[in-house]
Amino acid sequence: MSTNLTEFEELVAIDVDAPTPIVTFAVRQSIIEFCEETWIMTKDFNYVMDDEEVEDEINDYIDINLAEFAADTRPLGIVTLFIDGTQWDTFHKEIVVDIPDYTSVFSSEVKFFSFPNNSTLRLYNIASTSTNITLAIAFKPIQTVTAIDDFMYEDWLEPIVAGAKYRLLSMPNKEWSDPASAIHNLTLFKSGASKAKKKMNKGFSKKSTSVQPRSFGNHM
């Protein structure tokens, strides 16, 4: 299920009398920034490789279609990656030509990846014998999004609204400008983002664990 951005906008407009298009923009940017800072929007999924799927034209890569996992979003990065049960560290790198001495240039203990577009994950140096890939990927909304997953409204309404208010109130020479209130709302936004990151680092439990982000796909 999802919540329309107008639900956020109405709460922002109570305190900031700005034109609706600007309020919409501020809300959308606040949500995007919140996701960028916290990686709170993640999706966990399993991918089974087909025979002869690895492309050798650029360092043995495979492309994984993400379109079915996250609509109206774009990927931020890989949170966790397991290949046939082995966990790998990951690093973003755009590789555009085949590198003959790949293993001497890049660490063999890291899997490099890129996002050729908003709906494709490209993993490099993948063995043709690999069969099962388990991923957790962080996403953020695209600029034209009009609705967001319900948990963003239910769990993180206050910091998102505060972030939108900060953007509007800090605009110079506007009828709604209020620098003092802007700083207050920025504090609320940052406090909420910090709380979200701490919850993620604890795996949304009461004890500290390795990072296990909450999957937004479970709230749809």
Across the chain, mean pLDDT equals 90
Is the confidence at residue 211, as pLDDT, over 90?
no
Both 176 and 202 in one domain: the answer is yes
CA–CA distances in Å: residue 77 to residues 1, 18, 30, 220? 24, 34, 19, 21
Q: Which two tokens stand for residue 13?
A: 């407009």
Both 29 and 98 in one domain: the answer is no
* Domain span at 24: 2-39+144-219
d(CA 203, CA 220): 19
Q: Give the least confident one: 40-49, 64-73, 165-174.
A: 64-73
* Domain total of the chain: 2
Beta strand residue intervals within 118-195, DSSP E: 120-123, 132-141, 147-149
pTM of the full structure = 0.86
d(CA 189, CA 47): 36
pLDDT score for 207: 52
d(CA 176, CA 164): 13
pLDDT score for 3: 97
Both 31 and 73 in one domain: the answer is no
Both 30 and 49 in one domain: the answer is no
Domain boundary among 97, 114, 140: 140
CA end-to-end distance (rounded Å), the chain: 4
Domain boundary among 140, 163, 188: 140
d(CA 136, CA 113): 13
Domain boundary among 112, 140, 168: 140
Both 177 and 130 in one domain: the answer is no
